[in-house]
Amino acid sequence: MAPRYAVFGHPIAHSLSPQIHAAFGRQTGIALEYTAIDVSIDDFHAALEAFAAGGGRGANVTLPHKQLALVLCEHLSERAQRAGAVNTLVRTEAGWDGDNTDGAGFVRDLTERHGLDLRSRRTLLLGAGGAAHGVAPALIDAGIGELTIINRTPDKADALSDALGQPGRVHSRYWSDLGNQGAFDFIINATSIGRESTSFSLPYSLATPRTLAVDLSYGEAAIPFMAWARSAGCHTVVDGLGMLVEQAAESFERWHGVRPDTRPVYEQLLRKSDMLATAD
Ligand code: ATR
C-alpha cells in the first residue's frame, strides 16, 4: 500500500491539494495516497490520531485547524512558531512535527513565478486571522519596508503586530482609518471577506499605478478584492493559486525529500480554472 498523506479541514470537499500532490507524485515517480479529510474542530485531534494509527505519514492542515494543530505537535519548526499556526505535519516516532509552508510558498510565488521584487515595499496587510499570521513573518524576511496591519477587530491586528517584534517597522491601524493611510506599494488581502460577500469596498487612495495587489484566496473567493484592485488601477493583481501550489511543493519536499517542479502543475490548474470561468 502506498504511504498515506491527507489534508484536514472543514469544509474541504473543494480542496485542490489531493490533485496537486497526486501530480507531484506522478512527476517525481513517488507512490503516495493523498486524500481530503473533512472533520470538525471537536473531532480534529481524534481524527489525526486515527490517521496516524492507520499509517498516516504526513498531513496538511487548513481552515479551521491551523492553530489547534500547533498545540498538538511534539516539535515545531521556527517558522511554525513565528506564524503561530501549522499547515504541515510530519509523523515521527515521538508524534507530530509541525511546520508552516504558507509564508515561504507565498513569497516564492511572487518572487520566482511572477518575478516581483518585494524589497522596501510599503505594505498593507488586511486581516489578522490564520492566513495573515501565516504570511506575515515571511513578508518581514523578504525585506518589505514598513508594514501596516489593519483588521476589523483591532486587538487581533495589535497582537499580530506585537508578535512580529519590529515596532519601528510594523504597526496596526483601525479599519475606519484606512482612508488616511496614504498609498501602498503592496496590498495583501488576508481577510475572508471574499468567501462571504461578492463586493469589496476600500478607498482608491490606497493604490497607485505601481501597486502590487495580492489576494491569498483563489477562485471565486478572490474575485471581489481583485476586481477592486483592478478598478483602483493597481499595476499587478495576483490571486493565491500560485501560493497554494508553492506551499504544497514545500510540504512535499518536507515529506519526500524531493522538490517538485511547480510550473506544469500551476499551469494545468490555471487552464482548468479558465475553462470553468468560460463555461459559466
Ligand atoms: P483565515 O484562516 O482565512 O485567515 P480567519 O482566521 O477566520 O480565516 O480570519 C478571517 C479574517 O477575515 C479576519 O481577519 C477577519 O476579521 P476579524 O478578526 O475582525 O474577524 C476578517 N474578516 C472576515 N469577515 C470580514 C468582514 N466582513 N470585514 C472585515 N474583515 C473580515
Q: Where are the domains of the chain?
A: 4-100+245-262, 103-241
Of all protein residues, the one whose alpha carbon is nearest to atom 29 of ligand 1 is: 152
Residue 77 in marked binding region? no
Whole-number Å distance, alpha carbon 73 to ligand 1 midpoint, is 25
Structure confidence at residue 29 (pLDDT): 98
Residue 175 DSSP SS3: helix
For ligand 1, atom 18: residue with the closest CA: 153
Report how far residue 273's alpha carbon sits from residue 242's, in angstroms, rounded to the nearest whole number. 12
Atom of ligand 1 nearest to the CA of 64: 2
pLDDT in 10s for each residue of the chain, 280 residues:
789 999 999 999 989 999 999 999 999 999 999 999 999 999 999 999 999 999 999 999 998 999 999 999 999 999 999 999 999 999 999 999 999 999 999 999 999 999 999 999 999 999 999 899 999 999 999 999 999 999 999 999 999 999 999 999 999 999 999 999 999 999 999 999 999 988 889 999 999 999 999 999 999 999 999 999 999 999 999 999 999 999 999 999 999 999 999 999 999 999 987 765 554 4
* Ligand 1 geometric centre to CA of 211 (Å): 23
Shortest-distance Cα residue to atom 14 of ligand 1: 127
Distance CA 252, CA 97 (A): 14
Q: Hey, whose CA ends up nearest to atom 24 of ligand 1?
A: 193
Residue 1's pLDDT is 78
What pLDDT sits at residue 273? 79
218 belongs to an annotated ligand binding site: yes
User: Which strands, in side-by-side order, build the sheet including 4-9?
Assistant: 33-38, 4-9, 56-61, 88-92, 95-99, 75-76
Q: Give me ligand 1 centre to Cα 57, in Å.
A: 32
Helices of type H across the chain: 17-28, 41-53, 66-71, 78-83, 102-108, 130-141, 154-164, 193-196, 223-231, 241-256, 262-279
Determine the 3-state secondary structure of 180 from DSSP.
Answer: helix
Mutate to test the pocket of ligand 1, among 152, 153, 172, 188 (most ligand atoms within 8 A of CB): 152
Q: Are 91 and 73 in contact (CB under 8 A)?
A: no
- The highest-level CATH class for domain 4-100+245-262 is alpha beta
In ligand 1, the atom with minimum distance to the C-alpha of 175 is 29
State pTM to two decimals: 0.94
Supply the pLDDT for residue 280: 41
The three cell numbers locating residue 126: 488586511
Q: Whose CA is nearest to atom 11 of ligand 1?
A: 191
> CA-based Rg of the chain, rounded to a whole angstrom?
19
- CA 193 – ligand 1 centroid, Å: 7
DSSP for 22-73, written as a single string: HHHHHHHT---EEEEEE--HHHHHHHHHHHHHTTEEEEEE-TT-HHHHHHT-
Domains 4-100+245-262 and 103-241 share a fold: yes
Question: Would you call the peptide bond into 209 cis, given omega within 30 degrees of 0 as the criterion?
Answer: no
Q: Which is the CATH superfamily of the domain at 103-241?
A: NAD(P)-binding Rossmann-like Domain (3.40.50.720)
DSSP lists the bridge partners of residue 60 as 7, 88
Q: What was the pLDDT predicted at 57? A: 98
C-alpha cell, 249: 511543493
Residue list, ligand 1 pocket, CB within 6 Å: 63, 127-132, 151-153, 156, 190-193, 196
What are the catalytic residues? 66
Query: Does 272 appear as a known binding residue?
Result: no
